[in-house]
Structure 1
Amino acid sequence: MHLLDPDHPFFQPLWRRLLLVAIPFVWAFVEMSYGNDIWAYFSAGIGGFLAWNLILKWPNKD
């Protein structure tokens, strides 16, 4: 079972993948600034998961 399908056409543009990775990290910063550490870690974890799957492990189709 996959939580995220990086082969889906929605994820093809680079700007969309970068935006989807940046949003949880921005939200983690917002939560951290309000003192909600648990939600900040949770959001950063989601951002890390997306960064791993959409940026670092992106399928190279040459």
Structure 2
Amino acid sequence: MSQSSLNRRLTQIFGMLLGIGIAVWVLRGFGILSFIPGGIIWLLILAAIAVGIISYAQRTWWRF
């Protein structure tokens, strides 16, 4: 897997995790997904942040 395709994949994963996390958070606030614990939402958002940091580091610091 080349560097650009890996970075593109990491960026897509970042966007999906962040989008799902925010959507679940908003829907839980409206009471639609009230059965989902808050810890799951935090895990989604923290995973998105971690993937974003890895994507940034892979693009700027790591030279394969």
TM-score by length of 1: 0.53
Unaligned runs of 5+ in 1: 1-9
Whose helix fraction is larger, Structure 1's or Structure 2's? 2
Q: Which amino acid aligns with 1:26?
A: A
- Identify if the C-alpha distance between structure 1 residues 32 and 51 changes in structure 2 by more than 3 Å, giving closer, same or farther: same
1:1-62, aligned counterparts within 5 Å? Answer: 13=9, 14-34=11-31, 36=34, 39=37, 41-55=38-52, 57-58=53-54, 59-60=57-58, 61-62=62-63
Alignment size in residue pairs: 52
Structure with the larger RCO, 1 or 2 (CA within 8 Å, 6+ apart):
2
Q: CA deviation at 1:31?
A: 1.0
SS of 1:15 mapped into structure 2: helix
In 2: Cα distance, 1:24 partner to 1:45 partner? 8
| Identical columns (%) | 8
Runs of 4 or more off by more than 3 Å in structure 1?
none
Q: CA RMSD in A?
A: 2.9
